[in-house]
A and B are shown apart, each in its own frame.
Chain A
Amino acid sequence: PLFYKGWYHLFYQYNPNAAVWGHIVWGHAVSKDLIHWLHLPLAMAADQWYDKNGVWTGSATILHDGKIVMLYTGSTTEGVQVQNLAYPADHYDPLLVHWVKYPRNPVLVPPPGIGPNDFRDPTTAWLTSEGKWRITIGSKINKTGIALVYDTKDFINYEMLDGLLHAVPGTGMWECVDFFPVSETENNGLETSINGPRVKHVVKASLDDDRHDYYAIGTYNDRNGTWIPDRPNIDVGIGLRYDYGVYYAAKTFYDQNKKRRVLWGWIGESDSEAADVKKGWASVQSIPRTILFDKKTGTHLLQWPVEEIDSLRLKGKEFNQVRIQAGSVVPLDIDSATQLDIIAEFKIDSDALEKATGSSDASFDCATSGGAAERGALGPFGLLVLADERLSEQTPVYFYMTKGSDGNLKTFFCNDQSRSSKASDVDRHIYGSLVPVLRGENLSIRILVDHSIIESFGQGGRAVITSRVYPTKAIYGAAKVFLFNNATELNVTASLKIWQMNSAFIQPYPNL
């Protein structure tokens, strides 16, 4: 993704032949506002020996003179992963419709000791203090996930650094590695080459083994091209995730237009591929999210839907101080409930928190719990979205608090798909994670609902969960929203605003 001459560009992995993965080429779409997209012709097809088996992931770098270079992974006719260079055919075309591949590709092949299938997804380049461009490419050695580092002056000739950017044993292949700076103090994004005091660097990897995106915050050493995590116990691949639901192969770009770092993610399907073939499509891109360092915790990143999503809001309705007794469900009277933006805040009785008995059973985990039907003293409570009137189908998005025997409170943010649909071939998992809640903070949730896509943000984006649900009854006019409180010892008060969301009218670029 990139911003160029007034347009945001998204290039994405696309199969023109089927609604399952295969024959991957580059789709292309443009937008003025990251929300209303216009489809353009395919940017790159699999027409060379070095990308015949797949035009895979790549990254753009904007050079000093404003020109763009694109590095991408090709799967060769022999199935070997190599890195190739491409650039716009016409730098004056703001739509960047046509692309040219460097005639002497590939520019990088798997180095000695690296497998032919373990070398892909080159990053956007950043400048070293010596004025060279530096990139990183994910790989693995045995079961250790690694990030290789290369320096280049021209994107054609490269020198591989002796050391690795970083490595974490047991994490397996690192795909879609991303590496970028975040400011510890400012509320804007940083251009990829920025370094200095009060700047931290994030290393992110998509783990092929478990299909989740992990990140860690740490310190970059420009001299030897290495990075170490602030907290090795939550290192890359063993700690925090961008999203605890269906969200993978994410990457960021620096939006120089609005000085923010924007995150893109691939949301796959949770239904059967037969259903995908029947409906004729599969997979969506998430609403782009800004990424910021969470100054309050110092350990997390915050993700939030880009502000331009607000332009889709139609009419809104406010609900103030709605009291939800323990063990109750409160319907929210809004018209349609399939395209929504919900911002909710929950207040809890601090007395109830004090009185609750701590339990030594401190092993709660959203995924292994009984979902929203499992009653605890201090949870679950939250919202039911894409629910029908009789609640025969529902997707709870909620908090669950636990109190340890030491009196310490923990808060979990979960998304329960177990009763989301009567269909037999859909995913029924419960997703979620621990979310830090600081003293004085109310519990807050933002949810974007779009038919089968739910993106939910806990505590201002400190924990995010995306899920795909396929209700058979809670659809169109029959879909409803409820507040619920299934805790046994807690009463909760909620205040929220719910907006109907308009369509983004995504269509082909007219008169191309």
Chain B
Amino acid sequence: MKNLIVIIFAFLVCQANAFRPILLLGNQNLVERTCKQTPFYDLCIWSLKSNPESRDASVKKLAQIMVDSLKTKATETLDLIDELLQDGLALDPEMQKALTSCAERYNVIIRGDVPEINEALKTGDYKFAVKGADDAAIEANSCEIEFPTKSPLTDMNKVVHDVSVVAASIVKIIQTKFSF
């Protein structure tokens, strides 16, 4: 009898342990499945997995993580723009004009688009989250083409643009997925 109990107990423990990796795998699957439906898979995976909150997250939470990433990247870019404007580069009037315009656009991303997306996600009116994310991509792109010659912001504009596009894609997944 004692052996039976030991065996049953061992069996139960094994089963419990066997579940754990499946759960982790299950959620990794969600991150991977979600990112596969965005145009920038690698960026999406990297942004989400580098945030520990993506572990047990719903798709809505993944969207929020992406928006946080957008805000971070946009803020870094704006900081760089401010630095450049204070620098010697500002002496070139065309460069100054482009940087000033970019600063305006990045301000709108951080203080207009990001809050709009967050409020829309919170209240469930998803089309405004898509709109905000789409607009952030447009602002980053428009900043890049302001520079008549070499842009000092090419890499950062691309990241902000691509992160915005990924965020918009994830919101569209929320809109069309089954269950709330």
Contact = CB atoms under 8 A, between A and B. Distances in A.
Contacts of B108: 272-274, 277
B165 to A, nearest CB: 15
B104 A142 contact: no
Contacts of A272: 105, 108, 135, 138-139, 142
Contact of A22 (B116, B127, B176, B180): B116
A273 B115 CA distance: 13
B112 interface: yes
Contacts of A208: 125-127, 175
Given A115-B180, A118-B180, A209-B176, A20 B113 contact: yes
A117 B124 contact: yes
A21 B180 contact: no
Interface in A145-186: 172-173
Contacts of A20: 112-113, 115-116, 132
B122 A53 contact: yes
A273 B142 CA distance: 12
Given A75-B123, A208-B126, A277-B108, A425 B116 contact: no
Interface string B132-149: 100100110110010000
Q: Most A CB atoms within 10 A — which of B132, B142, B172?
A: B142
Interface string A25-56: 00000000000000000000000000001101
B124 A118 contact: yes
Contact of A117 (B116, B119, B123, B138): B123
**Most chain B beta carbons < 10 A, residue from A18, A20, A208:** A20
B127 to A, nearest CB: 5
Q: Most A CB atoms within 10 A — which of B123, B131, B172?
A: B123
Given A21-B128, A274-B139, A277-B112, A54 B123 contact: yes
Chain A binding surface, main DSSP class: loop
Given A20-B116, A20-B132, A277-B112, A424 B178 contact: no
B179 interface: yes
A490 B175 CA distance: 46
B120 interface: yes
A21 B116 contact: yes
A273 B127 contact: no
Nearest to A278: B104
Contact of B115 (A22, A172, A424): A22
A274 B110 CA distance: 11
Contact of A274 (B104, B123, B131, B180): B104
Interface in A274-297: 274, 277-278
Interface residues of B, number: 30
Given A21-B116, A173-B175, A274-B139, A116 B180 contact: yes
Contacts of A18: 112
**Which of A79, A118, A272 is packed against the most chain B CB atoms within 10 Å?**
A272
A277 B113 CA distance: 11
A81 interface: yes
A317 interface: no
Contacts of B180: 115-118
Contacts of A142: 178-179
Interface string B80-109: 000000000000000000000000110010
A497 interface: no
Contact of A424 (B119, B122, B142): B142
A420 B113 CA distance: 25
A132 interface: no
B120 A143 contact: no
Contacts of B126: 208
Nearest to B180: A115
B65 to A, nearest CB: 18
B107 to A, nearest CB: 8
Nearest to B142: A425
B176 A273 contact: no
Contact of A273 (B112, B120, B125): B112
A211 interface: yes
A53 B108 CA distance: 22
Contacts of B179: 115, 142
Contact of B176 (A81, A172, A425): A172
A209 B175 contact: yes
Contact of B127 (A116, A211, A424): A211
A56 B128 CA distance: 13
A486 B135 CA distance: 34
A79 B120 CA distance: 10
Interface centre among B119, B141, B172 (most CB of A within 10 A): B119
Interface in A189-219: 208-209, 211
Contacts of A115: 124, 179-180
Contacts of B145: 424
B70 to A, nearest CB: 14
Contacts of A56: 125
**Which of A18, A143, A273 has the most chain B CB within a 10 Å cutoff?**
A273
Given A18-B112, A172-B176, A272-B135, A53 B123 contact: yes
Interface in A252-289: 272-274, 277-278
Interface in A72-92: 75, 79, 81
Interface in A376-393: none
A209 B131 CA distance: 12
A21 B113 contact: no
A22 B122 CA distance: 11
Ranked 3 nearest A-B pairs via Cβ: A117-B124, A115-B180, A425-B142
Interface of B: 104-105, 108, 112-113, 115-116, 119-120, 122-128, 131-132, 135, 138-139, 141-142, 145, 172, 175-176, 178-180
28 contacts: A19-B112, A20-B115, A20-B116, A21-B119, A21-B120, A21-B128, A22-B115, A53-B123, A56-B125, A75-B124, A79-B123, A116-B124, A117-B180, A142-B179, A173-B175, A208-B125, A208-B175, A272-B105, A272-B108, A272-B138, A272-B142, A273-B112, A273-B116, A274-B105, A274-B112, A274-B139, A274-B142, A424-B142
Given A208-B127, A274-B108, 4 more contacts: A19-B112, A20-B132, A75-B123, A117-B125
